[in-house]
Chains A and B, each alone.
Chain A
């Protein structure tokens, strides 16, 4: 009894440390310390968890922890910063799967007696949310790593089919509540349907909407932990799970706002599978590396606008190099980052931080737009939809209403691009045909390196 009391007090302590850790994440200067506090909180919770009554055999626990720690540490060390979205997707998936298994394991009690109806209900929630998170994250991982097509997959009757799945799940869930045995056919139905629903939920979502999906799955992995906490009557799982759930929901909300779309629209519309909006005609004006150098040499205010293309080309280091040269040349340099640039929230910030860009130079969309007219050269690197003026001007455009970085209002715009292909949303970009736009075709990394060496010569 006493040790249980100590364990419960330890849980309060670790909850406090999680909360304090998240609070320190409010500024880049204190964030690292915050993560440390959070980790200490986790350590305390894990030790306290090991003292729970009913644990009679530690061999399997140790085995699981050693295997998990090895895999986790290897993944964390090996991953390249550009591969971060994929890693986070996989972590979301393993969190979901763990909650699913905890729920499943709860159905087998040591005494062999069936669990109560309420517990059965929470177990079903843990299996449903955990299972959805697991398979949904695997599909998201596949799309992010381009192992499967990142385009939205929609088919006729998709909603009807998904509706049927949900009804079937509801029916199986009710049956399982009435007879909560892990051997019943209803259990397998709930498990199978949950996994299937996760797949069905993510396939209709296109690559450009991945920041929303990852945030949402992040939230689900927390909610699944919460449900598992209810199933086994554990406070710390509920507190920590709901913190994560809230975090994911806020990020999801920020991402949706940044695209001016509702969550329902992102989840169900199959955006990106259709091409519409008016076609744009005009002439693009290419520019050579040499001419780009002459313009940049004379510029006193330069703003980089990175997008997913910068991650693909691994161009962050040369971009930073160019930024430093321009700064030495007397120019004011900033990096404007759209909330949905890249494949996950904050993706570009991490890449630029990796290249040692001080975080003071990273500015948000709302900060740069009012003073974009003072920018002599805006350099768009592998971004497309987030700088597409159609979002502002063409009410027929599918991305109409989405807030963008108004680079077209800068004095000159350089667009670094491989070819004239349209962005992930499949929408044409009138920016490329503007009077003040110059296209620098080719690999972003090579183009920038070219400009850098022009400065050197």
Chain B
């Protein structure tokens, strides 16, 4: 039953994703990618399970998890910061520099 439930979520989110992303204008495709990169850093929530398993339980899982936490954090922190940096540059004529 669990599998059916998870697949249900998967299918609905894929449809929602298609709907949302197809409305993003071409101008913003690079920030969209780096923003998506940041979101894919959600693996972090999964990496906690391994990294926090406790060295006495499984050293290997704990070390693998630690590296996973570091990599996913790079995605989250780097992804959001660089997206923000880019988006801050997109200026309109009205609120522009002149």
Contact = CB atoms under 8 A, between A and B. Distances in A.
Interface of A: 15, 18-19, 21-23, 25-29, 31-32, 34-36, 38-39, 42, 45-46, 48-50, 52, 54-58, 60-61, 63-65, 67-69, 71-73, 75-77, 79, 81, 84, 87-88, 91-92, 94-95, 97-99, 101-102, 104-106, 108-110, 112, 118, 182, 214-215, 218, 221-222, 224-226, 228-251, 254, 337, 339, 344-347, 349-350, 353-354, 356, 358-362, 364
Contact of B87 (A31, A104, A246, A364): A31
Interface in B47-98: 47-55, 57-58, 60-93, 96-97
Contact of B29 (A99, A101, A182, A251): A251
B39 A345 contact: no
Interface string B14-41: 1011101111111111111111111111
Contacts, number: 383
A108 B92 contact: no
Interface of B: 2-3, 6, 9-10, 13-14, 16-18, 20-55, 57-58, 60-93, 96-97
Contact of A76 (B68, B82, B87): B82
Contact of A95 (B16, B28, B41, B63): B41
A145 B49 CA distance: 35
A63 B79 contact: no
Contacts of A61: 48, 51-52, 65-66, 69
B32 A98 contact: no
Contact of A28 (B34, B41, B90): B90
B80 A110 contact: no
23 contacts: A21-B35, A22-B17, A26-B25, A28-B87, A39-B84, A48-B45, A49-B44, A49-B45, A60-B51, A73-B78, A88-B34, A92-B37, A101-B68, A102-B47, A105-B49, A222-B36, A230-B3, A239-B13, A242-B10, A243-B16, A346-B30, A350-B89, A353-B89
A411 B43 CA distance: 53
